Every structure is written in structure tokens, then in C-alpha cells.
């Protein structure tokens, strides 16, 4: 319970800090051309957008790409555009849709990065379509999305951050077989009260001890026979089926 409270506090702090930038060195103004170059690990915290319409606000990353940093709309079924004013939308920023009462969201194929708390605390969110080119899923990206009982993860994923689905309503989930995603992080499914089944392929070679902390006692891992995931289930005392 303490971990969930801490996560909620962190989510609140993230929203309060939404006017700041991480890595841009500016206060609502555009960075110099040198700072606008795309960099691995570059993260923009939601701020006053460079470009906007009545529904979305975007921050310019470089001459071709923007990151979605604000949602001004009130719709509960949201389709994020793949481009805006000749820029390609490649990322969803920190806390953009945090606690916005969403029911469904469609994310374009152009998006490769979903940052921390992007969809956190949308308790009515039941339907999410992730892009097949997604590479990074941030910390607490779907934290406390209690209505979300399943989600399809793309094989393109390279990294999932801790707490990504903490306290979500997931019942079942399939970890994709992938050469780029080999690790399940700390507290990824922490306190998911409805989680009954997780399918883990042989390509996963590292799982944190607390990935499934405080999940239901009847959780079953479906694993490949002889795989690391089978060994993990045995060591952690988690029920499993080897296939």
C-alpha cells in the first residue's frame, strides 16, 4: 500500500512540475538548434507547446519531429494524430493524459516513445491501441488504469520502465517474443489486483524479483519449458504452466 501511495504522490508531483523542461534549457521558449537535435534518451516534460490547436499541443524536437505535450480536449475517446503542421508525432510526453477520464485511445504508428505517467490514473480507460513501432514505455505509463483489463504489447518494444502497469486492472497479458525486449523491470505489475495470467516467452532472460509484487496468489505464468521464466517462477514460488 505504501508503494502505491508513493506512486500517487509522485504522479501528483509530476503534474505540478508540468511547466518545467528536462533537457531543453528554456522556460517555454524554443531551444537553440543544437538542443533541438534528437538524442537517445531525450525527454521533454509537458510544457507550454510550440504548436497547438484546440485539442493538442506539441513541442518541436527537431525539424521533422514533435512530441505531444498537452491535451486541451474533453473527449473520452481520443485518436492521437500522426502529424501536425508537417511535423511527425513521434512521442507522447510526461503526464499528457494523466487523470483525464479517457475511455479509449488510439496511438499512431509514428510514435516510438510513451513517457512517464502519460496515461496514468485514467480509471475508465478500457481500450488502448499501441503502435507496432513503439520502442519505449515509461515509468507509471498506465499506473492505476483500473479499467484496463488487457493490452497488446508490440514486438518492437526495447524497454519497459518500472511501475509501467502498477495497480492497473489487467487480467491477462502476453509479453511479446522479441529480440529487443529481454527484461521485465521492477514492479512492472505491482499491486495489479486482477492479474491472473501472464505469458512470458523464452526471449525474456531477466525478470526483477518484485515484478509481480503483491499480485493475486492465483497468478499463473505461462512459460516456455526450460526457459529462464520457468526457473524464475520456481524460485519465486509463482504458479506456472510450462508449454
Domain span at 46: 1-22+42-243
* Domain of residue 56, CATH code: 3.80.10.10
State in Å, rounded, how far the first CA of the chain is from the last one: 34
pLDDT digits (tens, 9 = 90+) for 158-215: 999 999 999 999 999 999 999 999 999 999 999 999 999 999 999 999 999 999 999 9
31 in a structural domain:
no
Q: Which residues contact 204 (CB under 8 A, 6 or more apart)?
A: 175, 181, 182, 183, 184, 227, 228, 229
Q: Sort strands 172-174 and 197-200 into parallel, antiparallel or unpaired.
A: parallel
Q: What would the pLDDT profile of 31-43 be if each residue is shown by its tens digit? A: 333 333 444 444 5
Total of domains in the chain:
1
The reported pTM is 0.82
234 and 213 Cβ atoms separated by less than 8 Å: no
Amino acid at each position: 500500500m505504501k508503494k502505491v501511495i508513493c506512486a500517487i504522490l509522485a504522479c501528483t508531483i509530476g503534474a505540478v512540475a508540468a511547466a518545467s523542461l528536462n533537457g531543453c534549457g528554456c522556460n517555454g521558449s524554443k531551444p537553440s538548434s543544437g538542443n533541438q537535435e534528437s538524442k537517445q534518451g531525450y525527454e521533454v516534460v509537458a510544457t507550454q507547446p510550440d504548436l497547438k490547436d484546440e485539442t493538442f499541443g506539441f513541442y518541436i524536437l527537431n525539424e521533422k519531429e514533435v512530441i505531444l505535450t498537452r491535451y486541451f480536449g474533453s473527449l473520452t475517446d481520443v485518436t492521437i494524430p500522426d502529424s501536425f503542421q508537417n511535423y511527425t508525432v513521434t512521442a507522447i510526453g510526461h503526464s499528457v493524459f494523466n487523470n483525464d477520464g479517457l475511455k479509449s485511445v488510439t496511438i499512431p504508428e509514428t510514435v516510438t516513445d510513451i513517457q512517464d505517467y502519460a496515461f496514468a490514473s485514467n480509471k475508465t480507460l478500457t481500450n488502448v491501441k499501441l503502435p507496432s513501432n513503439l520502442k519505449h514505455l515509461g515509468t507509471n505509463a498506465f499506473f492505476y488504469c483500473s479499467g484496463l483489463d488487457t493490452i497488446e504489447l508490440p514486438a518492437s518494444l526495447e524497454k519497459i520502465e518500472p511501475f509501467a502497469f502498477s495497480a492497473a486492472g489487467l487480467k491477462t497479458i502476453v509479453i511479446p517474443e522479441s529480440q529487443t525486449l529481454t527484461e521485465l523491470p521492477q514492479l512492472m505489475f505491482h499491486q495489479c489486483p486482477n492479474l491472473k495470467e501472464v505469458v512470458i516467452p523464452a526471449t525474456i532472460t531477466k525478470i526483477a524479483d518484485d515484478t509481480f509484487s503483491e499480485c493475486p496468489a492465483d497468478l499463473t505464468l505461462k512459460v516456455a519449458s526450460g526457459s529462464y521464466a520457468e526457473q524464475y517462477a520456481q524460485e519465486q514460488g509463482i504458479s506456472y504452466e510450462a508449454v
